[in-house]
Amino acid sequence: MRNLDRRQFVRATAAVAATGALAGCSGNGGGNGNGNGNGNGNGNGNGGSEGPEARAEAFVSDNEANLYEGSLEDMTGQDEVVIATGAGDNGFSFDPSGVVVSTGTNIVWEWTGNGGAHNVVSEDGSDYEFESELTDEEGYTEDVTVDETGAILYVCVPHRAQGMYGAVAAVDG
């Protein structure tokens, strides 16, 4: 599912009808207060000033994702990409944790059985939204096909504090 939500600002035009002079009596005019109180500053959804790769990189970098070493792994041109879920020495990693794929790729998270129970849950700002089962079953899989360009930004909720984050950037080609 692709989240196309884009914040729209509805401007309350204060149509003050100041022109009714001919009506003689009146005196009361446009008392309508503008009602747009949306002061939220969440910066996503602005028409692509930052592409999927930049957003994916920033996400795993900012969250200090385990096994992320400063650049996304290029796995473009593949029909399917498997991300080990429960990788690394202690089983608290996604491997690869940061990856670039082509649109149309099926992303498969495959549980290793290590590190306890994991899940894969999209975070704010992700263009794809999903939540997997929470399980420790070796060989369990979840998958998402990325049909459009965008970033998948996700976390394993139980191991957030251990740095179990990951990101996928889906690009054309």
Residues that bind Cu ion (CB under 5 A): 118, 156, 159, 164
Least separation in angstroms between CB 98 and Cu ion = 16
Least separation in angstroms between CB 73 and Cu ion = 20
Query: How far separated are the first and last CA of the chain, in Å rounded?
Result: 20
Least separation in angstroms between CB 6 and Cu ion = 32
CB of 144 closer than 8 Å to CB of 152: yes
Q: What is the largest CA-CA distance in the chain?
A: 84
For Cu ion, the closer CB: 58 or 157? 157
CB of 133 closer than 8 Å to CB of 140: yes
For Cu ion, the closer CB: 75 or 164? 164
Least separation in angstroms between CB 162 and Cu ion = 7
For Cu ion, the closer CB: 129 or 136? 136
For Cu ion, the closer CB: 67 or 156? 156
**What does the radius of gyration of the chain's CA atoms come to, in whole angstroms?**
23
Cα 155 versus chain centre, distance: 11
Least separation in angstroms between CB 2 and Cu ion = 25
For Cu ion, the closer CB: 44 or 135? 135
Rounded to whole angstroms, the Cα distance separating 71 from 125 reads 20
Helix and strand counts by DSSP (H, E) for the chain: 1, 9
Q: Is the dihedral of CA 136, 96, 120, 91 positive or negative?
A: positive
